[in-house]
Structure 1
Amino acid sequence: MYYNLSLLFVYFFIYAIIGWMCEVVYCSIPAKKFINRGFLNGPYCPIYGVGAVIIIMFLMPYISNPILVFFIGIILTSSLEYITSWGMEKLFHAKWWDYSDHKFNINGRVCLLNSFLFGLLCVILMYMVHPIASDLVNSFSTFWIQIIATVAAIFFLSDLVESTRETVSFNKKLNSVYEATTELKDNLKEKGITTAHEVTARVRELKDDKLTDAMDSAQHLIVSLTNRINETKFINRYSHQRIMNAFPKMAHTYHQNSLELYKAYLEKSKRHKAKQHSK
């Protein structure tokens, strides 16, 4: 029993890593920078690992029919993507990806283009990748399969706990940004800054130089706001920045304006640090 579970987990781990690599290439090339895709910190995307194991288990009986493999694969992967999107939104109050700008999408969670690509990946997986992966895994003894699975599981579960903690911290940070903005809202209105978009724009426009007496009172308020954001608890710039880079179309259920403001603050902070290092 333990061997069978270990074997499944090894396959899960292999395909989670392959999926992460595909996502990184797919997203990093258009962005012209490395993007660590996925919910977790490590080099794997669990949704691909789960999807691959489900596909292998369900589609093996249809291996003689590539057309069925393609269409059943579309149904299985699209269902998994939809359920994952819905579940993560309910857990973390954020929509992590959004295909609303794609044609033939369902609630922005899945779209025809991605489903078609996933169908192709299912065919590639069943006829090209899995035979090689299966030969590789089966070359190890039962003992080593169990050892590899145990070590990988400990590493994966540790990352899952840490990444979940960081995401909870991220949500708390957005709430603290909202509270800081709310407290200064009346003062900002007096200076003609009345909307959240205007606040975000003013944060982006802030120069990286130190405060000077020439700054107007509105700028002082914006600087005060950024200082409040920096001082509030739950700030973990690296993990929070990674989350936003990995999911650039993330939409928060309750604090979308705070998300945009925090993103602008982190961009400004990153520019300021780069400028200091260049001196």
Structure 2
Amino acid sequence: MYYNLSLLFTYFFLYAIIGWSCEVVYCSIPQKKFINRGFLNGPYCPIYGVGAIIIVMFLAPFIGFAPILFLMGVLITSTLEYVTSWGMEKLFHAKWWDYSAHKFNINGRICLLNSILFGVMSLVLMYGIHPFVQSIIQSFSSFWLIVIATSAGVFFIGDVIESTRETLDLNKKLGSVYEATTELKNSLKEKGINTAHDLIAKVVDLKDGRLADAKDSAHTVVMNLTNRIQENKRFSNYTHRRILNAFPNMAHRDHQESLEVYKALLVKSKKKLKSDDFDTISDGQ
């Protein structure tokens, strides 16, 4: 029993890594920078692992019928992606990806282009990747397979717990952004900052150093706001930046404007950290 579970989890883990690798390549090349895709910190996307396991288990009888395998692959993966999008939105109050700009999409959760690509990947999985992976897995003894699966499982569960905590913390941070901007709403309006767009523009000005004059009252108000929000938590800033970088089209159900403001603040924070590090090196020399 435990051996069978170990075997199943090993397949899941490997395909989650392969899926993550494909996502990273697919998203990093257009952006010309490395993007750590996925909800978790580690190099794996569970949705690919789950999808691969379902396809391998249920589509094996259709291995001799490529068109049917393709269509079933499209149906299974599209359903999984839709359910995952819906579930994460309900759990974290945010829409993590949005295909509304693509033709033939359903509620922005799935689109025809991605579904077709997933169908093609299902064929590649069944005719190419899985036979190869299966031959590698079968070369391990039951003892080592259990050791590998157990070690990977402990690491994976720890990552799920920590990533969930980080995401819930992001929701709390957006709430604090909303509270801070609401509390300083009158002061911001007095300085000509009436919308989230105006506030973001001011934050960008701070980042670029164009409001360096301490006598600028708008500068003072925005600096007070950023100091309240940031609270000198570098770790939270890094993890939140990773999440938002992995899902640049995330839309928050309750605090979308606060999300946009926080993105600008994170960019400012990152630039400031780099500047501080450079100053430290210069002083050391």
Per-residue CA deviation, residues 91-140 of structure 1 (Å, 9 max, x unaligned), is 00000000011111000000000000000000000000000000000111
Structure 2 unpaired stretches of 5+? 280-285
Instruction: Report the RMSD for the aligned CA atoms in angstroms.
Output: 1.7
Alpha-carbon shift at residue 213 of structure 1 (Å): 5.1
**d(CA) in 1 for partners of 2:275, 2:142:** 54
Q: Which residue of 2 aligns with 1:124?
A: 124
Question: How many residue pairs get matched?
Answer: 279
- What code does the residue aligned with 1:185 have? K
When residues 132 and 193 of structure 1 are mapped into structure 2, their CA distance, relative to the original with a 3 A threshold, is same
SS in structure 2 at match of 1:36: coil
- What code does the residue aligned with 1:228 have? R
8 Å contact kept, 2:205–2:211: no
Alpha-carbon shift at residue 195 of structure 1 (Å): 1.0
SS in structure 1 at match of 2:223: helix
Equivalent residue runs for 1:1-279 within 5 Å: 1-207=1-207, 215-231=215-231, 236-279=236-279
- What code does the residue aligned with 2:28 have? S
| Runs of at least 4 residues off by over 6 Å | 232-235
- What code does the residue aligned with 1:91 have? L
Normalised to the residue count of structure 2, the TM-score between the two structures is: 0.94
**d(CA) in 2 for partners of 1:35, 1:170:** 19
Aligned identity (percent) is 65
Alpha-carbon shift at residue 231 of structure 1 (Å): 2.3
When residues 120 and 18 of structure 1 are mapped into structure 2, their CA distance, relative to the original with a 3 A threshold, is same
Normalised to the residue count of structure 1, the TM-score between the two structures is: 0.96
Per-residue CA deviation, residues 11-68 of structure 1 (Å, 9 max, x unaligned), is 0000000000000001111111111100000000000000000010111010001111
* 113-122 or 146-155, which deviates more: 146-155
SS in structure 1 at match of 2:103: coil
Alpha-carbon shift at residue 148 of structure 1 (Å): 1.1
SS in structure 1 at match of 2:254: coil
8 Å contact kept, 1:73–1:122: yes
* 193-202 or 254-263, which deviates more: 193-202
8 Å contact kept, 1:170–1:234: no
- What code does the residue aligned with 1:39 have? F
* 228-237 or 20-29, which deviates more: 228-237
8 Å contact kept, 1:208–1:272: no
**d(CA) in 1 for partners of 2:211, 2:276:** 15
Alpha-carbon shift at residue 277 of structure 1 (Å): 3.2
When residues 30 and 210 of structure 1 are mapped into structure 2, their CA distance, relative to the original with a 3 A threshold, is closer
Alpha-carbon shift at residue 278 of structure 1 (Å): 3.6
- What code does the residue aligned with 2:203 have? V
When residues 2 and 235 of structure 1 are mapped into structure 2, their CA distance, relative to the original with a 3 A threshold, is closer
Structure 1 unpaired stretches of 5+? none
SS in structure 1 at match of 2:61: helix
**d(CA) in 1 for partners of 2:121, 2:22:** 11
- What code does the residue aligned with 1:17 have? I
